[in-house]
Amino acid sequence: MIEVEDLIGLVRAYNPNTDAGLIRAAYAFGLEAHEGQFRSSGEPYFTHPIEVAALLTEVKLDDATIITALLHDTIEDTGASYKEVAEKFGEEIAGLVDGVTKLTNLELSSVETAQAENFRKLLLAMSKDVRVLLVKLADRLHNMRTIKHMRPEKQRKKAHETMEIYAPLAGRVGMQYIREELEDLCFAVLNPEARNSIMRRFLTLRAETGDLIPVIIEDIKTALAKCDVEAQVTGREKRPYSIWRKMEETGHGFHRLSDIYGFRIITKSERDAYVALGAVHQRWKAIPGRFKDYISQPKTNGYRSIQTTVSGRDAKRVEVQIRTREMHIVAESGVAAHWSYRNGERFANPFAVDPFHWLRGLIDGFESAENPNEYLEHVKLEMFQDQVFCFTPKGAVINLPRGATPIDFAYAIHTRIGDSCVGAKIDGKRVPLWTRLRNGQSVNIIRAESQRPQPSWEDMVVTGRAKSAIRRSLREENKAAHIRLGTEIARVALGKIGKKATDKALATAAKNMGIASKDELLAQIGTTQITGNDLAMALYPELLKKTDVKADKTTTEVVGLKPGQSHIAAKCCQPLPGERIVGIMVRGRGVVVHTIDCDALVEYENDQDSWIDLRWTEGMSEADHFTTLEIIMANDAGVLGRICTLIGEHNANIADIHFTERKPDFYRILIDLQVRDVEHLMHIRTAIEADPDIASVVRHRNPTADR
């Protein structure tokens, strides 16, 4: 365990004016508070807060953050209170400790809706003081380093949460070294075989070629010396997870990946950085498309660097980053650069960005999302994707995720511009709206006030803001159509239990279901967020139960049963009068009637004693036999309404409608029907197939439905 004086020494190395007495007091307070507590490894629990504090000294953070690290689990895991911490160490530190405690208590890997809401709370907590996040990231890094002592299922849960939330957060606030290590530690938990495979290939490569890193470093130093550039040059192998991700993205095997080495040139000035770039490109051949100048166009987290890939010694591709010392500090520590020290004094790094700016942007994004899941999608898209920088015709810079299209660009300027977008010009040339933007392009959006977002746009865009705006506009545009369709579904659903879909009934159902209005209820039914069965259950649950009991029974007589024997129709094949049938005696259920070609009968092949020869009685039956049609239909207004009308005209009832697949051009739906017999069903199928907007109509079977 790190002793208090050793910890103070780490702080004093960059901040000679540190309040050593306050750090000693916090150390003693934490040690006493965690007395008798142990980690999964068997070590005293207080070793963890000390290691977290030591990690934060690596990015030269202030006394308040170091002390917060020492105390970050006291309010949560010990008898210490906020008031006690505030009295001993001040309101600033107590507030930071409380913020970290709240982050720790959020179950970020819970179900999706709760996860989205908790993520919003996490961002709100961080927006008050970003140092809360810095402590939490160091806390998670140490926990991941020692994760092997946890149970396997808990390891996987923590690794998933870290990979999905904390690693990209670390990258987005500029702490790349933490992001890379977190990703690699998660990789070791989630896919150990893949990681071990890459490590073995690294060993094989070293055995074949020797250690190339010091050799290439000397080559770079020689090239720089010829240009009179003084610089620090370092190199390393890329982390296994970085290699694995590149293999996944390119589809190449390890042997085809050439840029597995990374080198860094730290210069004294920005001028020297560009001179160094020229020296590298003169010495080695630059790889086309692999040059990025983040000095002239910094990333939103303050990252500045020139990145280039060259064909180096023995034609091995190597990635080279070139930046100044100040840029390097921001590149390594991100927002932590705001608390950096130089020569024992806090100094303002000219390249450090406002640590609250990005967080404010994400929180503002929450306001534009209509539900928590959309918000979480927006946040994840913003965090995971790299950026491109494009220009408006007036020269303003628009930052977008890589893969963004002109539609994303339009919505990034203003929602009104996105909604009215009809075309785009890139560098003066008209291009399709699905074109992927590249760095440095000038984009001019062509608008028409009568234009409205199209359903196909949602598959073209990548930003959460654009997706949210498109969905909201489409919902508003289609609401009237959804209400009409919902009205028809409600009429059918209530009609089958002998009730009418009156305004009073619908208003009562909306109130019972916690929905704002009758129209909103009908719209949700029309978009299948709520089924007709849900509506009936909200109004007449007892009637529905009676109907459901009846639904399993066929009113048409079945010949071949013994007196008193009951039977039900199998849900897997949904037999109809007119089809050849067989009965299977099932304990506890009676006789289950299947069609003779039902795939589920394979299960009973070796149990012939359970089989009963059955047939339907002759004559007309009632329309009370359930079956399901699978329909692929064009995604156009009115198509589903026409289908419902056709079914009604054929004197069949719609029991329910399920959307199983939604695409920009076609929908796949399942419609549960009540029909008389197989001939009745065939007439309905033929009528639906005749509609020009119907791609296919087939009878849906589910062999596992009865299991």
Residue 636 catalytic? no
The region that residue 88 occupies, defined by phi over 0 for left and psi between -120 and 50 for alpha, beta otherwise, is alpha
In contact, 255 and 316? CB cutoff 8 Å: no
The catalytic residue among 19, 58, 76, 332 is 76
In contact, 658 and 676? CB cutoff 8 Å: no
**Farthest-apart Cα atoms in the chain, separation:** 105
CA distance between the termini of the chain: 57
Element (H, E) at 698: strand 694-699
578: three-class secondary structure by DSSP: coil
Point out which residues pair with 311 in neighbouring strands. 285, 317
Residue 76 catalytic? yes
In the block, which residue shows the tokens 């957060």? Answer: 169
Point out which residues pair with 583 in neighbouring strands. 593, 612
Quote the CA–CA distance of 452 and 223 in Å, as a whole number: 57
Phi, then psi, of 66 in degrees rounded to 5:
-65, -45
Quote the CA–CA distance of 631 and 669 in Å, as a whole number: 5
3-class secondary structure for 95-149? HHHHHHHHHHHCCCCCCHHHHHHHHHHHHHHHHHCCHHHHHHHHHHHHHHHCHHH
The catalytic residue among 6, 35, 51, 77 is 77
Element (H, E) at 236: strand 231-237
Quote the CA–CA distance of 135 and 143 in Å, as a whole number: 12
Distance of CA 245 to the CA centre of its chain: 17
Of 482, 479, 458, 454, which is closest to residue 468 (Cα–Cα)? 458
Looking at residue 706, the DSSP 8-state letter turns out to be T
DSSP 461-493: ---HHHHHHHHHHHHHHHHHHHHHHHHHHHHHH
Query: Which residues are marked as active site?
Result: 76-77
